[in-house]
A and B are shown apart, each in its own frame.
Chain A
């Protein structure tokens, strides 16, 4: 399977614990996005990487959140001191370098569902 993969698929954690999620994009895609979806809402943008550079962060991304893409390939999203409000589906997407209409399309992984108890 050469699509976007995310691990783990599900994570249950207690409030106050730290969690880390991983995203492996499609290999030739240099752009990588993280989104978060809460119940009844559409996915909301969290952050964007072009290669290893984090170029944009949403105001939704508090100080407890950090994302990395150290070698411009896979990415990790870490949440420190989790809160119940962090419970959501965390989606990763990747896309081709920005040229032409085909680059507009983002390919999504299946997401990591986080439950904070």
Chain B
């Protein structure tokens, strides 16, 4: 059984605050780590696909880092805006066997940004 854990489960911040979330995953058989943003009534939207230890990726005010040796990834949001309110999901893609690219998700972090 693969355990992908995210923390915190929920977070309330004020507009303008910077925030970060954690995703921990198995450090063995690593292939890729995905971050998704899921707004209510919309499709989950891919933010990053990270594959290399030490990877850092950035999209606007959102960035992510990856440590495959210790099995964690951080997602950072700088200067949060109300439109950043969403559930942030990380998903682990395991190498080898017959995984066929299926993703194992964490339970998500629900971010609410208050104006």
Contact status B43-A33, CB under 8 Å: no
* Closest chain A CB from B29 CB (angstroms): 15
Whether A25 sits at the interface, judged by CB under 8 Å, is: no
Chain A contacts for B106, CB-based, 8 A: 42
Contact status A3-B43, CB under 8 Å: yes
Chain A contacts for B31, CB-based, 8 A: 104
A23-B104 Cα distance, complex, nearest whole Å: 20
Interface size on B, residues (CB 8 A): 27
Contact status A42-B4, CB under 8 Å: yes
- Contact flag A106-B103 (CB < 8 Å), given A42-B108, A101-B49, A111-B43: yes
Whether A31 sits at the interface, judged by CB under 8 Å, is: yes
Whether B93 sits at the interface, judged by CB under 8 Å, is: yes
A46-B6 Cα distance, complex, nearest whole Å: 21
- Interface pairs A-B: 7 shortest CB-CB: A42-B105, A108-B44, A45-B102, A110-B43, A108-B43, A42-B107, A104-B32
| Interface residues, chain B, with chain A CB atoms under 8 Å away | 4, 6, 31-32, 34, 36, 41-46, 49, 51, 89, 91, 93, 98, 100-108
A–B complex contacts, Cβ < 8 Å, 21 sampled: A33-B101, A41-B107, A42-B4, A42-B89, A42-B91, A42-B105, A45-B102, A48-B100, A56-B98, A91-B44, A101-B51, A103-B101, A104-B34, A104-B49, A104-B51, A104-B93, A105-B34, A105-B46, A106-B46, A108-B44, A110-B41
